Structures are given as C-alpha cells and as structure tokens.
Structure 1
Amino acid sequence: MTSGATGIASARHVATRFWQDTRIRPLPYDRNFLYVVTVDDALRKASGGRKSLDDLILAMLHRRQRDKPLGIADWEALLRDNLGEDAVRQLHAMLDGAAPLPTSDAFGPCFERISQPMHRYELGFVPAVLTESPRIVRDLIPDSAAAKAGVQNGDEITLPVGQDQLQGEQDGILTLQLLRDGKPLTISYKPRGETVGPGSGSANRALRKPRTRCLPPPRRNDR
C-alpha cells in the first residue's frame, strides 16, 4: 500500500473522511485484512497449529446465534483468552492507525515477505475537490506532477475522476478534463509523489514469493 494516510489514519479518521480522500478508502479493507492475517498467524503458532482465526470467528458467530450482543469487548476477550493482553494492545494500535505487518512466514513456510520502494499516490491538490460541485482545483501543491503538467488553481474539472483503481497502479496515468477561462483543455499526468521505502509504514508493500526449498524437484528427462 502506498497511501499517504496508511499508518496515521485512525478508525475514526477513516470514518469521517472516507468519501473525501481516495487514499483513505482502501484503508479499512487493506489494513483489516493485514490485521486478521496477523491474528491467524499468531493463533496458529501459539497453539501449535491447533487453532486459527476460524476458531475466534466461530465463537463470535455462536454468540450471535444465541441472540447475545456483539461488541469490541467480546473480541478483546477472545484475544485476551487466546493470545494474551499484548494482542489487545495490538488491536487498539491498529484502530489508532498503526499498519499491521504480518511476519514473513504468515502465509505458510513456502512464502516470504519482501518490501520494495514505491511512489506515494499524490493527486496534487485537495482530494475533496473531486467530491464537490463544481470541482474547482485549489491548494495546488507546488512542484507536484499535477502542477508540472499544467494544472492550475481555479481550473474546473468537468468530468468525474475515478481513482480507486488508479492509486493501486504505480504507472497509472490520470487524465483531467478541465475548463479554464471558458476554454476546455485536457491534462494528463502520473499522480505520484515522493519515493518511500521499507520502514515508512505506508510504503511497505508486502509481496510474497515461494521459497526455493518449497518448489517441487525438477522432473527427470527419461528419454
């Protein structure tokens, strides 16, 4: 994930800005996925493979089937009983904005996590502009890709812009249909900013590749 908001946006922040900033929208999905992966990995290791995330989810399901209320306290209790108080602290750290980072072997012994530097998604101006009517560019970031491509404060964006897929494509191009001084124009640019690398939280991109020892041996050619 390369969102500039990853690692600093709390659950409350996500809820209030979900539709205002496209960098915020993937967070509850991506971060929660990474969180449950870390819980599953911890359960499997702590129990010697006898328990997994499924056991906790089933416990919550059974509680619901008995018409009992479900809340965060119930999840905390399951974490505390199975993984200890530290797991509860990790839950709240995630809710406060920390990005969970699964261990290298969280997806099994045949995989390992690698990291690579990436460019942050940067629209180049206030993201909320795209949700407004009319869509008037403001607070243009000097030296941003948008500014270098020719976007100016006061430009009106005449067509809606989809970003959810684009921000996941490092080489994706954003095309804006603009109106300036009553004249239409088209500007395209790559909406990327600074390069960030491992350890920056928001730039960690967990890729996984099979380890050589897990690959099947090559077949012998008997011909």
Structure 2
Amino acid sequence: MFKKVLVVEDFDVINSGIKIALDEIGIHHVDYISYCDEAFLKIKSAFLKGEPYGLIISDLSFENDGTPQQLKSGEELITKIREEFIDLKIIVFSVEDKPYTIQNLYKNLKIQSYIWKNRNGLKELKKAIYKSFTSSEFYISPELHAAIHPKKAVEITDYDLSLIKYLSLGFLQEVISEKLKEKGITPSSTSAIEKRLKFLKEHFNANNPAHLVAIAKDFGLI
C-alpha cells in the first residue's frame, strides 16, 4: 500500500473523513495542504529530498480567502504536476460532476481515479486507493460512469440546440412550443418537446433541465 500520501483539501471536516478512511486501510503517513501552490512546492520538495509521495488526493475547487495563488484550482494543480511528475498517481475527490471536466482529467491529465464527493464518497475513495495501488485501470464512482463511457453517439440537431437554448433562457415547455410555432419549426407540440427533452436528458445523463443546459454549455453546444 502507499506509504506517503498528500491530501489537497481546504475543508477540515473533509480532511477528518479522509484521515479516518486512510487509517482504516493502513495509510498513516499523510500530509494535508489547503493551497494548491503550497501543495505543488510540497510535492517538488519531497521529490528532491528523495522522499516522494506515492499518491496525491486532491479536490478541484478551493475557497478564495484572499491568499494570493498562482494555481487557483485542483485542475490547474494537476496540470502543473503532470508537467514534471508524469507518473505520480492522482485521485480527484470532488463534488464536480461535469462530464467535460472529468474527461479532461481522465484523457489528458491521466489521473488514476475520480471519486464523487457524496454520501458514498469515502467508501469509494478507499476502493479507488486500492485500485490505484494494484492496477493501472482507471476507477470512477459508479454514479459518474457515463462521463467516460457515454452512450452510443447520436446526432444533436439544430432542433435540439434550439430547445436547449430556450431552456437556458428560462422558458417553460408551453412557451417554447409557441416560439417554435412562430418560427415555423416542427414538431412544436408540448408533448413532442417533452419527449425530445427527456431523450436529451437521458443521453447526456442530466438530472434535470438546468443540468442539461449546464452540460450543453460545458460541451460548447450553446
């Protein structure tokens, strides 16, 4: 198991939970850092001393308390780490669930695991640590599986983009129906709109219309 771990997290209550989880799997040499700049310097210093970390566990978002920081997010920290320490194992532990963000970390920054910080997060974190130590296979929380294993690709039409755009403007389905009728766009019935939006939410693994709009923005569709 990993002998030395660095946790980059700025909430003490989360750190307490992580500490308990690491203790339970026999990891006791753990350092906790609240700032990304300091975390990178800690990683580099440990490497230069010949006492490198075996694993980094990092959040993605950090509160701005006024302390000047060059690296303002976990994603920026991980990008910086990968510039110098390409083989260092990294687990992201975050509430962030945007597919674009997860795919970037998985495909481009080559993290080992992505764990969603929810009620099962610490349990999944322990699984991810074990998986990262024993295997090169990527591990992700089951709830986010679709982010890296999307359903069969389908064509997103101009009609779909119009529906999402109207949603982003706060229009209800009845109003969207009237807007489509005014422009001569079919199908324009509320039932057809509801059916297509249901399909789009399922395809993009969106929880609700607002989530669908957010995902569409992440992918640059609107």
Q: TM-score, normalised by structure 2?
A: 0.27
* Structure with the larger RCO, 1 or 2 (CA within 8 Å, 6+ apart): 1
Name the structure where helix makes up a greater proportion of residues: 2
Name the structure where strand makes up a greater proportion of residues: 1
